[in-house]
Amino acid sequence: MSAPVIITAALVGAEVTRADQPNLPITAEEIGQAAAEACEAGASIIHLHVRHPNGQPTQDVERFRQAMEAIRARCDAIIQVSTGGAVGMSAEERIQPLALRPEMATLTVGSVNFGDEVFMNPWPLIVQFAEAMRQYGVKPELEVFDAGMIANAFRLRQLGLIADPLHFDLVLGVRGGLPASARNLVYLVDSLPPEASWSVAGIGRAQTPMAMMALAMGGHVRVGFEDNIYYRRGELAQSNAQLVARVARLAAELGRPVATPQQAREMLGLRSGGDDGPRP
């Protein structure tokens, strides 16, 4: 058997709407239910964004607390909060959920055009977020949307702001970022520290081919409505779990078992096992 694959379910995101995907989870209860189904299908990490009841994206700490409680009531998944939030949010808004001391959080290591907008991550913001994660004992997942961002991760490591083993998420196919291709994925993986772990998030129709490449290369996989709302061309996915289940099936064909949350914690070197709960 090859190494287990860690599947991350990006359930909600900040950009997708109910008009785009009628089954998008929005309330804490809906997010908790979607997380439980995704875990049952093989996910061990829940990448978490939250919304106001009207569907607007928010980084409000109470909304995160409610969603985290709803997830923890139903499954043992690693909760990875977003510090990316939505394009245009301030650093102060985006950093809020770290105060809940989740096991993991995203740390985007550079700015990138994002559709018609710009996802702003200037160096001082990156340092501020990395320092806060260190202070709260939160493991960063380093989000890479373009090749140059990896150099910033090395710089953070050199400054002692992040520690080995590093974990990256390679996001391929955002309009304005690095396109999703086999050549680009291989280039990014070759640019990482050899001991680092990595997952791939292919955007839109690139989700499944990028997942298959990651599985074959020994990497990990992120899927979910945040990145792709379709099951196949022209057919909306029924649920986040349906997308996770496909990756689990493909992994099985390649002889890679899906990691349990506990196995994923060990593989990622997480601090305790996620039983210390959110704090005020």
* List of residues contacting Zn ion (CB under 5 A): 82
Residue type (1 letter), 99: A
Q: Would you count residue 84 as binding ligand KMH (CB under 6 A)?
A: yes
Inter-residue contact 58 to 14 (CB < 8 Å): no
Selection from Zn ion, ligand KMH, none that 86 binds (CB < 5 to 8 A by kind) is ligand KMH
Chain residue whose CB lies nearest ligand KMH: 84
Q: How many CB atoms lie within 10 A of CB 163?
A: 12
- CA 107, 166, 278: angle at the middle one, nearest 5? 55
| DSSP conformational letter for 225 | T
**Of 28-36, 77-85, 120-128, 203-211, which segment contacts ligand KMH by CB under 6 A?**
77-85
* Token pair 């990896």: residue: 150
By beta-carbon proximity to Zn ion, the closer residue of 105 and 264 is: 105
Q: Please select the residue that binds ligand KMH; options are 6, 41, 71, 86, rule is CB under 6 A.
A: 86
Among 96, 106, 111, 121, binds ligand KMH (CB under 6 A): 106
Tell whether residue 114 is a contact of ligand KMH (CB under 6 A): yes
Single residue of 32, 35, 46, 119 touching ligand KMH by CB under 6 A:
119
Q: Which stretch binds ligand KMH (CB under 6 A): 59-67, 80-88, 131-139, 234-242?
A: 80-88
125-153 in b/e burial notation, b at 16+ Cβ within 10 A? bbebbbebbeeeebbbbbbbbbeebbebb
Contact yes or no for 23/238 (Cβ under 8 A): yes
In Å, how far are 50, 72, 142, 218, 259 from 168, measured between CA atoms? Answer: 22, 24, 5, 14, 17
Establish if 147 lies at the interface with ligand KMH (CB under 6 A): no
Q: Which stretch binds ligand KMH (CB under 6 A): 83-91, 193-201, 236-244, 257-265?
A: 83-91
Q: Report the alpha-carbon distance of residue 180 to residue 203 in Å, rounded.
A: 8
Summarize as ranges the residues that interact with ligand KMH (CB under 6 A). Answer: 14-15, 82-84, 86-87, 106, 108, 114, 119, 143
